[in-house]
Structure 1
Amino acid sequence: MNEGCGENSCALGCGFMESVIHCDIKEYYGKHLQSSEDLKTNACKTSARPLLATIQNAFKNIHPEVVSRYYGCGMVIPECLEGCRVLDLGCGAGRDCFLLSQLVGEEGHVTGIDMTEEQIAVAQKYVDYHTEKFGFKRPNVNFLQGYIETLQEVGLQECSYDVIISNCVINLSPDKKAVLKEAYRVLKDGGEMYFSDVYVNKRLPKNLRDHKILLGECLGGALWWLDLIQLAQEVGFCTPRLVSSSLISINNKELESLIEGYQFVSATFRLFRIPNNIKRSRYQVIYNGSITDKEDCLDFDASFKFKEGEVVEVDGELATILKCSRFVNEFMYCPMIDEKASVVHCRSTPEAVNLNPFDLAKQLEVKSSKSPIGGCCGQRESGCC
């Protein structure tokens, strides 16, 4: 990690030394950006696409000021959240936290952490407003000012969360491995990190990584997507599972000239923390259709779409993920005693699980151009059944 900027160490008194990048990002998001309209590119804007009815209704309850301070690049709303403890890394003004607080319900809880004082102040300002708006007796969301590289410094304990989300924030960190390592630490066994971020098709040179505007616009800190795969596995996660991807067009001539030759995507991955001592065996699974808004089909990732009642063969890692996570009761399981055996009408595991977000984005662009509604599910970013 870089040296601190000037004499600035962590304002929270935790002993963590801010890097120059931290200071630049805090200034950009705390001082320069007052709303999403101040962004100079569309990298940190979620592409418009149809939302499920439950999500649409939840959005209507969020205060306009919170919505206007949103700078995400994806839709980080995983399934099966009721009663869960959720952590939002880089929560900003709290839009996703207030959205998810409705989905986890009064028995669940959402924590948001962000290093930018101005953003946290907006989020905290509207806690009581949203508690009343949602009809809750007490708040089920809280916000902390701190760094996503050092969650222990704000008191977040090991194995304390079911789900972690992050929306276009990890690219802003100068130590992405530390972020993933901390996320792994605070997740429970079977827990998931479900996050959207910006990725680049090859490693960026230092002059682009240090460019203040490119950094603030979520481009300068973008990981080469293959580095994400390696970092995630180094800290202990299962192989990342690519969920969705869309190509980013910069729409800023000055910045386009700087990054000529590089391509960027907004992609969503899911990472699972699974105990290492569990034998991973192939299974035939049947989705029972009990997830709200996903009764007919569960789009688990870009490679696996589970239709209700359909028998699907899954590899040992995915079978272990399903059986050890909050999805355990959403499926019926039958072990593959004979690895070569299958059942009538069984849909088999894909020959190769797609992890390349650029390939997926291009495939979906082609599919979208052939269908006026972007495919059978009407969602351009995600695949469909």
Structure 2
Amino acid sequence: MAEEQRSGDKGFLHNTVHVDVKDYYGRVLKKTSDLKSNACVAPAQPIPGFIRQALQKVHPEVTARYYGCGLVVPECLEGCRILDLGSGSGRDCYMLSQLVGEKGHVTGIDMTEDQLEVARTYVDYHMQKFGFNKPNVSFVQGYIESLTEAGLANNSFDIIISNCVVNLSPDKKRVLAEAYNVLKDGGELYFSDVYSSGRLTEEIKHHKVLWGECLGGALWWEDLLRLAEEVGFSTPRLVTASVITVDNKDLQAILGDFKFVSATYRLFKVPKGNTKPRQVIYNGTITGVEDRFRFDCQYTFKAGEVVEVDGEVANILTHSRFGEDFTFQHLGGLCGPCGFKPKAGIVDPFELVFELEKQGPGSATGGCCSTKSAACCK
């Protein structure tokens, strides 16, 4: 009976959070300027020209209701099937639809009717703007914790992206599990979100404004590592991170000493195994990054250069859409840097931000927003 009660309480909490978030993003927020903190606003970073061009073609009303915290544009998008978790008014979907091309497809899922109404209103507008003969974007109403219930098939997406939405979910493990299920083998979850420096207090978690502002539901970054492992994903690879500041004095008083970052991670659905460190050579075959491919904050691959990678990165590169872009050798097969040791896979995003701040302005750029996408999905 006690277990049933706890389960019922948990379900009630989840329903309450969903209602509050729907209300906040459907009725309270009408445009980006209505936000009370900068947590859910994209950091001021240089945006590559090809992405700026794609964003300029998105209808102003769609852009005005954008509440993301990063730029979710991984490499190799052309021809891919992409799912956007918490797609909102559709800004990222319409931007990515140009990059996947007519042979690709972007699906957005969101629970907020008002947001979906805006997104669906401009499907024909954008297809004409992009010069496409038929829509390559669709929007589904549903919860990111229940993708299959919303009609999304297992093993059907090459890439899943999400922009400052997972923190709004009351059940983040289920979000990751559902994402894992609908990804194809070798697929990737590439997402930006808000993370905290520690596990938040109950007062913060139950504060409606802080939750709506993407802070109250922020994961402690170490919990992301644990949840990803439990679900089956590879260890999350940190791409980039930037500081979140809270200027609202009332909100800051409640938050106390907790700190927050906006961070982009990439997680892969690849086979488990005791893959050993390997030497790899980037072939320079990814369009737009022929000279240099920045995989994450630790590994940047220069074309033709021998790089020794840890076992997990070797496993990811082998089994993901990047497999054909690398030449693989066992250790000792080629002459790599003497005494070089593979980098540890786990990086504290707060330490990364500290290092980037020491390096000066512009250091936090790169990763998801540094390169043009290429034709990698088959």
TM-score (norm 2): 0.91
Note the C-alpha offset of 1:211.
0.3
Q: Which residue of 2 aligns with 1:93?
A: 89
Shift >3 Å, 4+ stretches: 1-5, 344-351, 380-384
SS at match of 1:154: coil
The residue correspondences of 1:18-57 to structure 2 (distance < 5 A) are 19-57=15-53
Tell me the amino acid that sits aligned with residue 87 of structure 2. Answer: C
Tell me, yes or no, if structure 1 residue 284 matches structure 2 residue 276. Answer: no
Q: Which residue of 2 aligns with 1:194?
A: 190
The 2-side partners of 1:241 and 1:75 are apart by 16
Tell me the amino acid that sits aligned with residue 125 of structure 2. Answer: Y
- The structure 1 residue matched to 2:352, chosen from 342, 354, 360, is 360
The 2-side partners of 1:330 and 1:349 are apart by 23
- The structure 2 residue matched to 1:320, chosen from 312, 315, 321, is 315
Q: Deviations over 1:200-258 (max 9, x none)?
A: 01111111101000000000000011110000000000111011111110111110111
SS at match of 1:92: coil
Tell me, yes or no, if structure 1 residue 379 matches structure 2 residue 365. Answer: yes
Note the C-alpha offset of 1:379.
2.3
Which has the higher relative contact order, 1 or 2, with Cα contacts under 8 A spaced 6 or more apart? 2
The answer for unaligned runs of 5 or more in structure 1 is 6-16
The answer for unaligned runs of 5 or more in structure 2 is 1-6, 371-378
Tell me, yes or no, if structure 1 residue 332 matches structure 2 residue 318. Answer: no
The 1-side partners of 2:266 and 2:277 are apart by 20
Note the C-alpha offset of 1:355.
2.2
Tell me, yes or no, if structure 1 residue 145 matches structure 2 residue 141. Answer: yes
Is the contact made by 1:245 and 1:381 (CA closer than 8 Å) also made in structure 2? no
The 2-side partners of 1:85 and 1:363 are apart by 36
Q: Which residue of 2 aligns with 1:206?
A: 202
Is the contact made by 2:72 and 2:163 (CA closer than 8 Å) also made in structure 1? yes
- The structure 1 residue matched to 2:122, chosen from 121, 126, 129, is 126
Note the C-alpha offset of 1:345.
4.6
Is the contact made by 1:313 and 1:347 (CA closer than 8 Å) also made in structure 2? no
Q: Which residue of 2 aligns with 1:179?
A: 175
Tell me the amino acid that sits aligned with residue 176 of structure 2. Answer: L
The 2-side partners of 1:347 and 1:21 are apart by 52
Is the contact made by 2:297 and 2:367 (CA closer than 8 Å) also made in structure 1? no
SS at match of 2:149: helix
Tell me the amino acid that sits aligned with residue 226 of structure 1. Answer: E
The 2-side partners of 1:197 and 1:237 are apart by 17
Q: CA 1:215 to 1:86, structure 2 compared with 1: closer, same or farther past 3 Å?
A: same
SS at match of 1:365: helix
Q: CA 1:31 to 1:199, structure 2 compared with 1: closer, same or farther past 3 Å?
A: same
Tell me the amino acid that sits aligned with residue 219 of structure 2. Answer: L
Note the C-alpha offset of 1:352.
2.4
The 2-side partners of 1:19 and 1:4 are apart by 6
Tell me, yes or no, if structure 1 residue 303 matches structure 2 residue 295. Answer: no
Tell me, yes or no, if structure 1 residue 230 matches structure 2 residue 226. Answer: yes
The 2-side partners of 1:4 and 1:265 are apart by 29
Q: CA 1:383 to 1:124, structure 2 compared with 1: closer, same or farther past 3 Å?
A: closer
Is the contact made by 1:354 and 1:360 (CA closer than 8 Å) also made in structure 2? no
The 2-side partners of 1:92 and 1:192 are apart by 21
Note the C-alpha offset of 1:299.
1.1
Q: Which residue of 2 aligns with 1:13?
A: none
Tell me, yes or no, if structure 1 residue 343 matches structure 2 residue 335. Answer: yes
Q: CA 1:185 to 1:380, structure 2 compared with 1: closer, same or farther past 3 Å?
A: closer
Q: Which residue of 2 aligns with 1:9?
A: none
SS at match of 1:152: coil
Q: CA 1:60 to 1:346, structure 2 compared with 1: closer, same or farther past 3 Å?
A: farther
Note the C-alpha offset of 1:315.
1.7
The 1-side partners of 2:222 and 2:176 are apart by 15
Is the contact made by 1:44 and 1:73 (CA closer than 8 Å) also made in structure 2? yes
The 1-side partners of 2:201 and 2:317 are apart by 39
Q: Which residue of 2 aligns with 1:158?
A: 154
Q: CA 1:382 to 1:57, structure 2 compared with 1: closer, same or farther past 3 Å?
A: closer
Tell me the amino acid that sits aligned with residue 200 of structure 1. Answer: S
Is the contact made by 2:298 and 2:343 (CA closer than 8 Å) also made in structure 1? no
Tell me the amino acid that sits aligned with residue 274 of structure 1. Answer: V
Q: CA 1:346 to 1:89, structure 2 compared with 1: closer, same or farther past 3 Å?
A: farther
Q: Deviations over 1:273-305 (max 9, x none)?
A: 0123x6623321111223233222111101111
Is the contact made by 2:156 and 2:182 (CA closer than 8 Å) also made in structure 1? yes
Tell me the amino acid that sits aligned with residue 344 of structure 2. Answer: A
Q: What's the RMSD between the two structures over aligned residues?
A: 2.1
Tell me, yes or no, if structure 1 residue 73 matches structure 2 residue 69. Answer: yes
The 2-side partners of 1:344 and 1:205 are apart by 48
Note the C-alpha offset of 1:347.
9.3
The 1-side partners of 2:369 and 2:48 are apart by 15
Q: Which residue of 2 aligns with 1:11?
A: none
The 2-side partners of 1:329 and 1:72 are apart by 32
